[in-house]
């Protein structure tokens, strides 16, 4: 019974880690926000 609980917890941990990895990847690929773009346009 304990191994089943461990397996379920491992699956939850894996799903959480995948979600975090996807969020980090998405955040890295985002374009600069509105204020950053306005500031950069002001400099140019």
pLDDT tens digit sequence for 9-40: 999 999 999 999 999 888 888 776 667 777 76
pLDDT band for position 4 (cuts 50, 70, 90) = very high
Per-residue confidence (pLDDT) for residue 39, from 0 to 100: 72
Tell me what pLDDT residue 8 has. 96
- Average pLDDT (1-9) is 93
Q: What is the pLDDT of residue 32?
A: 64
Annotate 6-32 with DSSP letters as a single string.
Answer: HHHHHHHHHHHHHHHHHHHHHHHHPPP
Q: What is the pLDDT of residue 1?
A: 77
């Amino acid at each position: 019974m304990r191994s089943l609980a461990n397996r379920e917890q491992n699956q939850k941990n894996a799903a959480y880690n995948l979600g975090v990895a996807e969020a980090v990847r998405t955040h890295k690929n985002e374009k600069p926000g509105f204020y950053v773009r306005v500031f950069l346009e002001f400099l140019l």
